[in-house]
Structure 1
Amino acid sequence: MSGRLADETAVVTGSSSGIGAAIAKGFAEEGANVITNSRALERAETTATEITEAGGTATAVEADISDPDDASHLVDRAVETYGSIDIMVNNAGVSVVDPIVELDPEDWQHVIDVNLSGVFYGAQAAARRMIEQGTGGQILNISSMFGSVGVQGRSPYNASKAGVNTLTQCLAVELADHDICVNAMAPGYVETELTDQTKESDDRGTELDRDDWPYYGYDETHVANRTPMGRFATLEEMQTVALFLVEGGHYTTGEILTADGGWSAFGWGSKAR
């Protein structure tokens, strides 16, 4: 299959839905052999089937990325199935929303295990194989615009993503001698099935109440007022950013590329005020 990633093999963790699934499909459209992944095999198979039915090449692999043995198994399957691993996308992530004084230590640890340790295990497993192959490679870690700010109720998520940012830089420095580029993509609010559900559960309405500000809502009005571009990002836009970062040929490594419609530049403000 021809395309910008023709003959390359990409592993995308957490690719059963949302950004991960979009990246996996986008890479397949550009000719990559894709390993889709989820902790539940049937969910990973759903994305793989959609890819193959569209004319691409994909194999589903069940793995819990927070387990280093599973991370190694995921990479091994890529090499066994397609002969190499050229691109590793560490996308799998979870979140919990609770005030810091009420946060259950188990919830804290679960988020760190998946979002930060999982990225490390995936990157480590991929880097070992890429070094062994001797042909370089691309590692892309999915961070968040929340990795550089404080937000009420989201301490484990934000801390994990801040860790991903610094880990990305460390990996980039250590792996550069092997021609392995390591970058991170930090999305803002993206239109996915999950955000659709979140918007539907946002019962505060669309009016901005100054007395209760700041309000960390997710309906269209609140996101539009906090984002200079005035809308959620699309999954296609996330595909575009991810493809740029893994295609290579751009002398970029150790970069955290924020794709948030200007949210970080604007700060936690409101265009309505």
Structure 2
Amino acid sequence: MFNIKGKTAIVTGGTSGIGLSTAQALLAKGAKVVVAGRNSQRGEKAVEELSKTSAEVAFCQTDTSDEGNVKGLIAFAVERFGSLDIMVNNAGTGTMATVDEMTGEDWRKIIDINLTGVFYGIKYAAIQMKKQGHGGAIVSTSSIEGAVGDPLIPSYCAAKGGVNLLTKSSALALAKDGIRVSTVNPGYVDTPLVSAELIGQERHDELLAMHPLGRFAKPEEIAHAVVFLVENEFVTGTQLYVDGGYTAQ
């Protein structure tokens, strides 16, 4: 089992939701964690909350769709904590529009953050891990929407499907270096983004009904899956669905 204690982890999109819960879970296991996000105020608030679990936490303001920002993030983690052993590519965004309604600008934004940003994260984490010479674990947040279609989010489906296959390719390329690459693929998670107030009661109830277990995931349930993927040294190139039975249908 990969011993997380004393290892350095980066969690992008780490200031709320799945990312915040993942950072907390890694800290509880004894890791040193850099949380990354675009909003410095949310970053400071996240560090304040996470410091209750461990003082070994820092924030780095990062736009993961910017290659230079991602290189800077990894350099920050290494300078602050001495290494990079765990990379969690969790930053993501979404917008709703059918394929005939979506603008090119909206398409590029989703692909840049949800797919190209993951590419940068895997690439530069792998370069650093290979330099260190003792392997590591890279986990990216994909989605059920990388396996099934949704008419309202074509760019998101395309990006997450891309993350799945980018992960498989990367896992094969990096296995010889002891670097394991996998995805966690959540169903819908109980956050304000899927609240009835935001998306409407009808859409909320429709999404809820698609999960055979009858509820959305809790952020900490996704975080637990990320920890499993990091700890299990015989897991790489896999997609771990944590979806309440959504994709079993």
Fold match, TM over 0.5?
yes
Cα distance in 1 for residues equivalent to 2:53 and 2:121: 27
In structure 2, give the amino acid aligned to 1:168: T
Distance 1:77 1:223, change over 3 A: same
Q: Does 1:64 align with 2:47?
A: no
Q: Given that residues 12 and 20 in structure 1 are in contact (C-alpha distance below 8 angstroms), is that contact kept between their aligned partners in structure 2?
A: yes
Instruction: Name the % identity.
Output: 40
Deviations 1:197-255 (A, max 9, x none): xx2134454xxxxxxxxxxx223xx3342111111111121121011001133x11100
Which of 224, 238, 259 aligns to 2:242? It is 259
Cα distance in 2 for residues equivalent to 1:75 and 1:191: 30
**Range with bigger deviation, 77-86 or 47-56:** 47-56
Residue 166 of structure 1: aligned partner: 165
Deviations 1:89-141 (A, max 9, x none): 00000101012111110000000000000000011110000000001000001
Q: CA deviation at 1:50?
A: 1.0
Distance 1:87 1:100, change over 3 A: same
Q: CA deviation at 1:31?
A: 0.8
Q: Does 1:236 align with 2:231?
A: no
Cα distance in 2 for residues equivalent to 1:203 and 1:175: 44
Give the secondary-structure state (helix, strand or coil) at the position aligned to 2:204. Answer: coil
Larger radius of gyration: 1
Residue 131 of structure 1: aligned partner: 130
Unaligned runs of at least 5 residues, structure 1: 206-216, 267-273
How is 1:43-58 mapped onto 2 (pairs within 5 angstroms)? Answer: 43-58=42-57
Which of 210, 216, 236 aligns to 1:226? It is 210
Cα distance in 2 for residues equivalent to 1:235 and 1:204: 21
Residue 146 of structure 2: aligned partner: 147
Residue 269 of structure 1: aligned partner: none
Cα distance in 2 for residues equivalent to 1:195 and 1:8: 34
| TM-score where L is the length of structure 1 | 0.87
How is 1:1-273 mapped onto 2 (pairs within 5 angstroms)? Answer: 5-196=4-195, 199-205=196-202, 217-219=203-205, 222-249=206-233, 251-266=234-249
Deviations 1:147-173 (A, max 9, x none): 011111210000000000000001000
Distance 1:33 1:204, change over 3 A: closer
Distance 1:239 1:116, change over 3 A: same
Cα distance in 2 for residues equivalent to 1:57 and 1:170: 33
Question: Which portions of structure 1, spanning 4 or more consecutive aligned residues, are displaced by more than 6 angstroms?
Answer: none
Q: Given that residues 31 and 56 in structure 1 are in contact (C-alpha distance below 8 angstroms), is that contact kept between their aligned partners in structure 2?
A: no
Cα distance in 1 for residues equivalent to 2:35 and 2:83: 15
| TM-score where L is the length of structure 2 | 0.96
Greater RCO structure (CA 8 Å; 6+ sep): 2
Unaligned runs of at least 5 residues, structure 2: none
Cα distance in 2 for residues equivalent to 1:123 and 1:182: 8
Cα distance in 1 for residues equivalent to 2:96 and 2:218: 24
Cα distance in 1 for residues equivalent to 2:46 and 2:118: 21
Question: What RMSD over aligned residues (CA atoms) do the two structures have, in Å?
Answer: 1.4
